[in-house]
Chains A and B, each alone.
Chain A
Amino acid sequence: MASVVLKNINKVYSGGNTVVKDCSIEIADKEFLVLVGPSGCGKSTTLRMIAGLEEITSGEIYIDDKLVNDVQPKDRDIAMVFQNYALYPHMTVYENMAFALKIRKMPKNEIDDRVRAAATILGIEDLLERKPKALSGGQRQRVALGRAMVRQPKVFLMDEPLSNLDAKLRVHMRTELTKLHKKMQTTFIYVTHDQTEALTMGSRIVVMKEGVVHQVGSPQIIYDQPVNMFVASFIGSPQMNFINGQFILENDQLYVCIGNYKLPVPHGIKKKIDAAYFTKAVVMGIRPENIYDQLVVLESFPEHCVEAKIDVIEHMGSECYCYMLFNGQQLIGKFNGQINDKIGDSMKIGFNMNKVHFFDQETQERIIVE
């Protein structure tokens, strides 16, 4: 059993700089947990504290229900894959993978078994006698993985392992890592700044910014019910659109007024909003893929339609991103296929009001309560 629990973890550097603020997370055994956030949010520092490479200023970390604050990394039974792989340059791939086992005085044949088994899973059996400098980026990364695997640790820690790979390889390795996790049935704690990796790989995601944990949840929950504007904007590509509006209540129907438009809010959503907001200014959030351009839909829901001016069109092949000007701000829409309108044209678009989000203008927090 290898659960990891962080209780009120703080990390303050000697200049007074607080890099991790009051972080509490419970990670279950065998989970694939992703720590995601922009640069400087404290995710790597948190990972390193779990590893024991950084001192914890205050708080407690438990691995497998044991308090490990003062336990050395080597005694925590964890393995780590570093961003730059940190392969020992003067040792062969085999020796790199065997190193940890060798210093624990494991018998030679057992070491050999483990190293070769891991090499086979990762497809690097042919590289065992090579030195790191003779390997490509992707190969080095797999050796780094192998080095962690042979340890058969309780927890796997990974610090942005894919960020040094080219785009194609990154996509390939994402699936490989997911498969590996399933095969190894061990807890994975993974740090990345790439929200795509977070969404596709994690069983749960922790979204962090400036040392604070903003939301913890499954990818779907984070995507569908972001707890504030930061999480909403960070997860999901292209980014969610935020439009300032004003609620008004008319005959028990809630509307959000944007510019000259009055958009009806579905009752299902209105039910979940505190009545105190019904007269307030709010921020409406809508994801690009929830904006319509198809004639069929526009005609069925005329009350959801608005007019916007096209600024830039990015053709992505099967779909296109349309940057539009609406009510004095920019909107991004994701449309299937091609659109025939040109830059500068006005086009009719519709908002899927069943999929909108609302946020408090001041606190930036979600006001829809589940």
Chain B
Amino acid sequence: MKTLVLRTKEKNYMLSFIAIVIGVIFLFPLYWIVVSSLKTNVEIFASIPTLIPHNITFSAYTDQLTGPNNILNSFGNSLLIATLSMVLSIILAVPAAYGLARFPMRTTKIFIMIFLVTQMLPVTLILTPMFLIYKNLGILDTYLAPALSDATISIPFVILILRTYFLSLPKELEDSAKIDGCSTFMAFIKIMLPISYPGLVMAAAFSFLFAWGDLAYALTFISTPESRPMTAGIYNFMGKYGTEWNKIMAYGTLLVLPVVAIFVVLQKYIVAGLTNGAVKE
């Protein structure tokens, strides 16, 4: 049987070409969001959609700058909630990951189990009780409520991934810090944290993005339109906009923007983070 033997260089080009085609097909939806947000009303309502807009306009954005659900306001709310959640997650999850990695405890396995299991909980499970609990605490309709609940999603994820990460760092670092006179906590803050900077960046990125994209908690806990983040905001106003897709896609673009920005900047870290903690525990 004669086999087609390609020279390496040609193989390279062909495979790269196929890869680009796959990339274009796969990422087309992203292109579509952005491009649609830049279309005029006329083009958007046309029965035959255009691949490349004939006229580019920012009216879909500028038309939404006022009103309680205006686009800037919602963006700001999302930013606030996501940042709050991220800070909370980092403060709690990073030490926990460190503790589980560096200090052998009889209950280590149980702790890991607990965090593993909480990762598998459906959001809707704790939605109802949290609603009632927050109501009783009086923090319904504040930024705190969704931030707290969003943190419950990112904390276990970050703990499990950072734990593997910390495990891979050499123990000699803390030992020499201790010899130099640091207490355990100081060694953690002054030595471990700076060195594990890539892991921390990744943890922060994940927690921010989880909270940024959350709908359920935001929708349930916040009822005042002015306080709603973008996810809940656009959901509630879908009816109002009907088929003004360019406006909806403008929302979508802004929602996606930080994600893509963070992703482009931190791509290496994110992919490494996923691969690090996932397969073999």
Query: Do A70 and B5 have beta carbons less than 8 Å apart?
Result: yes
| Chain A nearest CB, measured from B226 CB (Å) | 60
The residue in chain A whose Cβ has the minimal distance to the Cβ of B5 is A70
| Chain A nearest CB, measured from B279 CB (Å) | 16
Is B136 at the interface (CB under 8 A from chain A)? no
Residues of chain B within 8 A (CB-CB) of A14 are 8-9
A55 vs B9: C-alpha distance when bound (angstroms): 12
- Residues 1-39 of B, flagged 1 when their CB comes within 8 A of A and 0 if not, give 001010011000000000000000000000000000000
- Interface residues in A, total, Cβ within 8 A: 4
Residues of chain A within 8 A (CB-CB) of B8 are 14, 55
A70 vs B8: C-alpha distance when bound (angstroms): 14
A: residues with CB less than 8 A from B are: 14, 55, 70, 72
| Chain A nearest CB, measured from B160 CB (Å) | 27
A72 vs B3: C-alpha distance when bound (angstroms): 10
| Chain B nearest CB, measured from A217 CB (Å) | 36
| Chain A nearest CB, measured from B2 CB (Å) | 11
Residues of chain A within 8 A (CB-CB) of B9 are 14
B: residues with CB less than 8 A from A are: 3, 5, 8-9
A70 vs B5: C-alpha distance when bound (angstroms): 9
| Chain B nearest CB, measured from A57 CB (Å) | 11
The residue in chain B whose Cβ has the minimal distance to the Cβ of A70 is B5
Residues of chain B within 8 A (CB-CB) of A55 are 8
Residues of chain B within 8 A (CB-CB) of A72 are 3
The residue in chain B whose Cβ has the minimal distance to the Cβ of A55 is B8
Q: What would 5 A/B residue contacts be, using CB atoms closer than 8 Å?
A: A14-B8, A14-B9, A55-B8, A70-B5, A72-B3
The residue in chain A whose Cβ has the minimal distance to the Cβ of B9 is A14
| Chain B nearest CB, measured from A353 CB (Å) | 55
| Chain A nearest CB, measured from B7 CB (Å) | 8
The residue in chain B whose Cβ has the minimal distance to the Cβ of A72 is B3
3 tightest Cβ-Cβ pairs between the two chains A and B? A70-B5, A55-B8, A14-B8
A157 vs B19: C-alpha distance when bound (angstroms): 37
A164 vs B136: C-alpha distance when bound (angstroms): 67
| Chain B nearest CB, measured from A312 CB (Å) | 33
Residues of chain A within 8 A (CB-CB) of B3 are 72
| Chain B nearest CB, measured from A124 CB (Å) | 30
A14 vs B9: C-alpha distance when bound (angstroms): 9
A55 vs B5: C-alpha distance when bound (angstroms): 11
A22 vs B3: C-alpha distance when bound (angstroms): 29
A72 vs B4: C-alpha distance when bound (angstroms): 12
A70 vs B3: C-alpha distance when bound (angstroms): 10
The residue in chain A whose Cβ has the minimal distance to the Cβ of B12 is A14
Residues of chain B within 8 A (CB-CB) of A70 are 5
A14 vs B5: C-alpha distance when bound (angstroms): 18
A280 vs B8: C-alpha distance when bound (angstroms): 51
| Chain B nearest CB, measured from A195 CB (Å) | 35
The residue in chain A whose Cβ has the minimal distance to the Cβ of B3 is A72
| Chain A nearest CB, measured from B128 CB (Å) | 47
The residue in chain A whose Cβ has the minimal distance to the Cβ of B8 is A55
Residues of chain A within 8 A (CB-CB) of B5 are 70
| Chain B nearest CB, measured from A72 CB (Å) | 8
| Chain A nearest CB, measured from B242 CB (Å) | 57
A287 vs B137: C-alpha distance when bound (angstroms): 90
| Chain B nearest CB, measured from A302 CB (Å) | 60
A14 vs B3: C-alpha distance when bound (angstroms): 24
The residue in chain A whose Cβ has the minimal distance to the Cβ of B7 is A55
| Chain A nearest CB, measured from B234 CB (Å) | 50
| Chain A nearest CB, measured from B113 CB (Å) | 27
| Chain A nearest CB, measured from B16 CB (Å) | 14
A294 vs B36: C-alpha distance when bound (angstroms): 96
A199 vs B256: C-alpha distance when bound (angstroms): 67
A257 vs B9: C-alpha distance when bound (angstroms): 58
| Chain B nearest CB, measured from A1 CB (Å) | 27
A14 vs B12: C-alpha distance when bound (angstroms): 12
A172 vs B108: C-alpha distance when bound (angstroms): 46
A152 vs B3: C-alpha distance when bound (angstroms): 26
| Chain A nearest CB, measured from B6 CB (Å) | 11
A98 vs B3: C-alpha distance when bound (angstroms): 26
A221 vs B251: C-alpha distance when bound (angstroms): 82
A72 vs B8: C-alpha distance when bound (angstroms): 15
| Chain A nearest CB, measured from B201 CB (Å) | 32
A331 vs B243: C-alpha distance when bound (angstroms): 91
| Chain B nearest CB, measured from A115 CB (Å) | 29
| Chain B nearest CB, measured from A68 CB (Å) | 13
| Chain A nearest CB, measured from B23 CB (Å) | 24
| Chain A nearest CB, measured from B3 CB (Å) | 8
A70 vs B6: C-alpha distance when bound (angstroms): 11
